[in-house]
Amino acid sequence: MNQGMVCCTLKEISERIGGFVSRDPDLRISGISEPRRAKPGDLVYVDQVKKMKEAEDSLGSALLVPIFEGECAKPFISVKNPKLAFAKLLQFFYPSLSPDPEIHPTAVIDSGAVVSEKSYIGAHVFIGKNAVIEDHVVLSPFTYVGEEVQIGENSFIHPHVSLLKRVKIGRNCIIHPGAVIGGEGFGYVPDEKGDPFHIPQIGTVVLEDEVEIGSNTTIDRAALGETRIGKRTKIDNLVQIAHNCQIGENCLIAAMVGISGSVKIGKGTVIGGQAGFRDHLNIGENCVIAGGAEVWGDLKPNSFVSGAPARDHKEHLKIQASLRELPEMVKDLRDLKKRRGSPPPL
């Protein structure tokens, strides 16, 4: 996994993440790891002080730890937020390298498309009419780029992604394998005979900058206008986002979430795996929707809901706790009614 060839001193690393070096500032570090995988030369990441012992006993050369008081058998860097420092050092030691600019001879590119020479167009790619590929984009093998699609600088498209007609991808986006952006949504109206009549979906999808879309996730084009995913929003695998949804900035949407048509979600909202949303809902900013929740109504900002149907999380917990007593309650209540001479339950 030693992809990069980076090597630097404890002091240099510490400056990079704003930490405190306990000793040996000139010790050379060649990687970052966790205790049970550490090898000599590694800085060993410890998220909690109580786990420091395991890291001290590891093969690593130094520790990355939270701020603490006490002794340590190895030199260390202490920081306020070791998880963030760890993430930054992973990026530093194991940078994800983009391939050098190239247009592979098997790529099929429409003569009307505009493709930056600074981008990488892999094997078996297809780029349609009037598409625009900006600088430093990576189109992995088997990328499908439909007509008039735009892809912003530095965006990375993994294999087997489908970007349909007129979709706009911002800068620094990442789209994981098999995702489908801009497929035609599910819109029907009963015709005179009651058969489903298709409502053409002539809008598109816009991903703002720094958006990430998980593997095999599907995001449908709007009927009219745009389905929009806000800046820095991160969407996991196998998520469904239906036509005309408006997802705010900085949202985190875990795997297998299903969002029906025309739902608006405020910025900073976090959604747990397999949650579902009825159509046309308004979900406020900074909400937390627990995994598996089924949201059937609007939510005010800062709501925390769970359950199916979704309720206030504390209420949900109380109901769930009460349910454990329910079978006993049925008996108790029958008993009480009998003693009172009430007619027995049916």
Enumerate residues 6+ apart whose C-beta is below 8 A from 124: 104, 106, 107, 141, 142
Number of chain positions touching its own copies (CB under 8 A): 111
Contact stretch for its own copies (CB under 8 A) within 19-27, 56-64, 67-75, 325-333: 325-333
Nearer to its own copies, 72 or 163 (CB): 163
Exactly one of 106, 280, 302, 338 binds its own copies (CB under 8 A); which one?
Answer: 106
Exactly one of 73, 118, 325, 338 binds its own copies (CB under 8 A); which one?
Answer: 325
Tell me if residue 313 is catalytic: no
SS3 string, the chain, reads CCCCCCCEEHHHHHHHHCCEECCCCCCEECEEECHHHCCCCEEEECCCHHHHHHHHCCCCCEEEEECCCCCCCCCEEEECCHHHHHHHHHHHHCCCCCCCCEECCCCEECCCCEECCCCEECCCCEECCCCEECCCCEECCCCEECCCCEECCCCEECCCCEECCCCEECCCCEECCCCEEEECCCCEEECCCCCEEECCCCCEEEECCCCEECCCCEEECCCCCEEEECCCCEECCCCEECCCCEECCCCEECCCCEECCCCEECCCCEECCCCEECCCCEECCCCEECCCCEECCCECCCCEEECCCCEEHHHHHHHHHHHCCHHHHHHHHHHHHHHCCCCCCC
Exactly one of 176, 205, 206, 303 binds its own copies (CB under 8 A); which one?
Answer: 176
Both structure tokens of 54: 């395991």
Q: Does 301 bind its own copies (CB under 8 A)?
A: no
Q: How far is the CB of 196 from its own copies (least distance, A)?
A: 6
Q: Does 69 bind its own copies (CB under 8 A)?
A: no
Exactly one of 7, 67, 73, 108 binds its own copies (CB under 8 A); which one?
Answer: 108
Binding positions for its own copies, 178-197, rule CB under 8 A: 178, 180, 183-184, 186-192, 194-197
End-to-end Cα, the chain, rounded Å: 68
Binding positions for its own copies, 281-300, rule CB under 8 A: 291-292, 294
Nearer to its own copies, 22 or 85 (CB): 85
Active-site residue, selected from the candidate residues 136, 243, 280, 316: 243
Binding positions for its own copies, 215-244, rule CB under 8 A: 215-216, 218, 220, 224-225, 232, 234, 236-238, 240, 242
Exactly one of 162, 246, 269, 303 binds its own copies (CB under 8 A); which one?
Answer: 162
**d(C-alpha 15, C-alpha 22), whole Å:** 13
Exactly one of 7, 114, 308, 338 binds its own copies (CB under 8 A); which one?
Answer: 308
Binding positions for its own copies, 17-36, rule CB under 8 A: 33-34
Q: Does 169 bind its own copies (CB under 8 A)?
A: no
Q: Which amino acid is at 34?
A: E
Q: Does 53 bind its own copies (CB under 8 A)?
A: no
Nearer to its own copies, 23 or 37 (CB): 37
Q: How far is the CB of 316 from its own copies (least distance, A)?
A: 10
Q: How far is the CB of 141 from its own copies (least distance, A)?
A: 4
Q: How far is the CB of 70 from its own copies (least distance, A)?
A: 25
Both structure tokens of 187: 């819109």
Mask for 110-149, x = binds its own copies (CB under 8 A): ------------xxx-x-------------xxx-x-----
**d(C-alpha 41, C-alpha 53), whole Å:** 18
Nearer to its own copies, 22 or 131 (CB): 131
**d(C-alpha 158, C-alpha 174), whole Å:** 8
Exactly one of 5, 26, 111, 339 binds its own copies (CB under 8 A); which one?
Answer: 339
Exactly one of 90, 103, 113, 132 binds its own copies (CB under 8 A); which one?
Answer: 90
* Residues labelled catalytic: 243
